[in-house]
Amino acid sequence: MNQYSKEAFINLLEDKLTRQRRKYLEDATDKDLYYVISSIVKDELIPKWLDTQERYQQNETKQVFYLSMEFLIGRLLETNLLNCGLLDTCKEALLELGRNPEEVFKNEHDAGLGNGGLGRLAACFLDSIASLSYAGHGSGIRYRYGLFEQRIIHGNQIELPDYWLKEEYPWETRKADEAVEVQFGGKVHLHKKQDGKFEASYEQTDKVMAVPYDVPVSGYQNNVVNTLRLWSAEISPETSDFLSGPNSQYYHHLDHTHSVEQISGFLYPDDSSFEGKELRLKQQYFLVSSTIQGIIKKFKTDYNLPLSSMAEKIVIQINDTHPSLAVPELMRLLMDEEEFEWDEAWEVTTNVIAYTNHTTLSEALEKWPVSMIQNLLPRIYMIIDEINERFCQGIWFDHEELREKIPELAIIADDQVHMARLAIVGSFSVNGVARIHTEILKKKEMKDFYTLFPSRFNNKTNGITHRRWLLQVNPCLSRAITDVIGPQWIKQPNKLISLLRYSNDKPFLEKIDRVKQKNKQALANLIHEKTGFTVDEESIFDVQIKRLHEYKRQLLNIFHVIYLYNELKDNPSLDLTPRTFIFAAKAAPSYHLAKEVIKLIHHVASIVNHDKSINDKLKVIFLENYNVSLAEKIIPAADISEQISTASKEASGTGNMKMMMNGAITLGTLDGANIEIKDLVGEDNIFIFGLNAEEVLNYYQNGNYVAKDIYHTDDRVKRILDQLNHGEFGAEEIEFKDIFYNILYHNDPYFVLKDFDPYIESHELVERAYRDKQTWQKMSVTNIAYSGKFSSDRTIREYASEIWKLN
**Residues within the interface to ligand PLP (CB under 6 A):** 116-117, 120, 546-547, 626-628, 631, 653-655, 658
The residue from 120, 511, 547, 619 that is catalytic is 547
Cβ(85)–Cβ(36) under 8 Å?
no
Q: Which residues contact 487 (CB under 8 A, 6 or more apart)?
A: none
Cβ(200)–Cβ(336) under 8 Å?
yes
Secondary structure E strands in 170-205: 173-174, 180-184, 187-192, 198-203
Find, among 57, 58, 65, 44, the residue nearest to 229 by Cα. Answer: 65
CB of 381 to ligand PLP, least distance (A): 35
- Residue 148, SS3 per DSSP: strand
CB of 584 to ligand PLP, least distance (A): 9
Measured CA to CA, the distance from residue 102 to residue 114 in angstroms comes to 24
Q: Which is nearer to ligand PLP, 266 or 626 (CB)?
A: 626
CB of 658 to ligand PLP, least distance (A): 6
Strand partners, 214: 173, 229
658 is catalytic: yes
Cβ(556)–Cβ(756) under 8 Å?
yes
Q: Which is nearer to ligand PLP, 654 or 742 (CB)?
A: 654
Cβ(140)–Cβ(113) under 8 Å?
yes
Q: Which is nearer to ligand PLP, 9 or 274 (CB)?
A: 274
Residue 469 amino acid letter: W
Cβ(535)–Cβ(524) under 8 Å?
yes
Cβ(803)–Cβ(458) under 8 Å?
yes
Q: What is the DSSP letter of 488?
A: H
Q: Which is nearer to ligand PLP, 627 or 787 (CB)?
A: 627
CB of 114 to ligand PLP, least distance (A): 8
The residue from 229, 358, 456, 516 that is catalytic is 358
Q: Which is nearer to ligand PLP, 32 or 632 (CB)?
A: 632
Q: Which is nearer to ligand PLP, 122 or 263 (CB)?
A: 122
Residue 559 amino acid letter: F
Helix, strand, coil share (%) of the chain residues, nearest 5: 55, 15, 30
Secondary structure E strands in 238-365: 314-319, 353-356
Strand partners, 216: 227
CB of 88 to ligand PLP, least distance (A): 25
Q: Which is nearer to ligand PLP, 416 or 654 (CB)?
A: 654
CB of 628 to ligand PLP, least distance (A): 5
CB of 547 to ligand PLP, least distance (A): 6
461 is catalytic: no
Q: Which is nearer to ligand PLP, 128 or 725 (CB)?
A: 128
The residue from 546, 586, 603, 649 that is catalytic is 546
Residue 390 amino acid letter: R
Measured CA to CA, the distance from residue 707 to residue 688 in angstroms comes to 22
CB of 654 to ligand PLP, least distance (A): 4
CB of 72 to ligand PLP, least distance (A): 6
Cβ(263)–Cβ(143) under 8 Å?
no
CB of 634 to ligand PLP, least distance (A): 10
Cβ(116)–Cβ(555) under 8 Å?
no
Span between the terminal Cα atoms of the chain, in Å: 25
Q: Which is nearer to ligand PLP, 288 or 598 (CB)?
A: 598
Measured CA to CA, the distance from residue 584 to residue 596 in angstroms comes to 14
Residue 794 amino acid letter: R
Name the helix (H) or strand (E) containing 72: strand 71-74
Find, among 98, 92, 8, the residue nearest to 44 by Cα. Answer: 8
> What are the DSSP calls for 512-564, one per residue?
HHHHHHHHHHHHHHHHHHHH-----TTSEEEEEES---TTTTHHHHHHHHHHH
CB of 106 to ligand PLP, least distance (A): 16
358 is catalytic: yes
The residue from 322, 466, 520, 552 that is catalytic is 552
The DSSP bridge pattern shows strands 687-688 and 225-235 to be unpaired
Distances (CA, A) of 517 to 83, 270, 638, 639, 660: 28, 36, 10, 10, 16
Find, among 771, 501, 498, 536, the residue nearest to 637 by Cα. Answer: 536
Q: What is the DSSP letter of 735?
A: T
Q: Which is nearer to ligand PLP, 630 or 717 (CB)?
A: 630
Q: Which is nearer to ligand PLP, 16 or 649 (CB)?
A: 649
- How many other C-beta atoms are found inside a 10 Å radius of the C-beta of residue 124? 27
CB of 208 to ligand PLP, least distance (A): 31
Q: Which residue is nearest to ligand PLP (CB)?
A: 655
Q: Which is nearer to ligand PLP, 587 or 628 (CB)?
A: 628
421 is catalytic: no
Measured CA to CA, the distance from residue 703 to residue 529 in angstroms comes to 48
Residue 130 amino acid letter: A
Q: Which is nearer to ligand PLP, 418 or 546 (CB)?
A: 546
Q: What is the DSSP letter of 207?
A: E
- Residue 415, SS3 per DSSP: coil
CB of 659 to ligand PLP, least distance (A): 9
The residue from 313, 511, 595, 658 that is catalytic is 658
Cβ(489)–Cβ(482) under 8 Å?
yes
- What backbone phi and psi angles, to 5 degrees, belong to 152? -115, 125
Find, among 524, 504, 516, the residue nearest to 477 by Cα. Answer: 516
Measured CA to CA, the distance from residue 540 to residue 277 in angstroms comes to 44
Q: Which residues are catalytic?
A: 358, 546-547, 552, 654, 658
